[in-house]
Amino acid sequence: MSDKEEGIVKERLNMYFLLDSSGSMGGAKIQQLNDCMTTLKPVIQAEAKNEGVDVVIRALEFGSTSKATWHTGNMDTGKLINDFIWQSLKATGGTPTASAIEMVTDAIDGRYLGERALRPVVILVSDGGCTDGKPKYTKACQDLVTKHGDNVIRVAIGVDGANIAELEEFASKDIELNKPMVFKAKDAADMVKLIRWVSQAAIKTASKNPMGQNQQTGNALPGAGKWIT
């Protein structure tokens, strides 16, 4: 008998991917990013089953226009992982990271998260620095923290050439390592490994931390020590 037939409402984990599709992501980077997102579905499905949660995916791309745009789902509605189908990104334009952070800040709202919502996970992937300007980027990061605090797990993956200082400004701190949750990918292949691992680890962490609870034990990803240096 299914959970629906039994009347069981699973806890829901909303995952937001903020993906750099700027011109510098061209070639192997954007190809492997697309391949990774295409093959991520069974990875997340398996982890969601292990943790007994429903996972909802949203993705913002930033690069092809002057502002970020919704690529998968939108502000109020995401895709259940079983219904998730990736549409390839193209690499072009600048890097309006601040715009993506502003949009995800507005999207993380109780009206859109669903019943029994767990702490949302935001995974930012970029290979460059924000072209929105430093003041706008800093304000976007501050507004995200001011509005949501530690109720959001913020993880960044910096691909070769990324502005690591900017990513550290965005990311939550891993309280076990006392360092921001910023993971450095030396190349496109490393990026793929990190996206898969971070997705799995974040589901493990978030599944144990419903919204609004004391989050002091929540800001750590199991096994992060081998990636954070």
Q: What pLDDT does 66 receive?
A: 81
Quickly state the pLDDT bin for 221 (edges 50, 70, 90).
confident
Average pLDDT of the chain? Answer: 90
What is the average pLDDT across 61-73?
91
Structure confidence at residue 91 (pLDDT): 95
69-72 and 53-62 strand pairing: antiparallel
What is the phi/psi pair of residue 41, to 5°? -50, -55
pLDDT for residue 80 is more than 70: yes
Q: Which of 70-74, 89-93, 225-229 has the lowest mean pLDDT?
A: 225-229
pLDDT tens figures, 161-180: 899 999 999 999 988 888 99
Domains of the chain: 11-76+90-226 (3.40.50.410)
3-state secondary structure of 62: strand
Per-residue pLDDT at 176: 86
Helix axes 97-107, 134-148, angle to 10 degrees: 20
Distance CA 76, CA 171 (A): 23
Mean pLDDT of the region 47-56? 95
Longest CA–CA separation in the chain, Å? 54
- Residue 150's pLDDT band (cuts 50, 70, 90): confident
Phi-psi region of 7 (alpha: psi -120 to 50; beta: other; left: phi over 0): left
Instruction: Please name every residue paired with 153 in a beta bridge, in sequence order, or none if there are none.
Output: 121
Q: Confidence band (pLDDT; 50, 70, 90) for 213? A: low
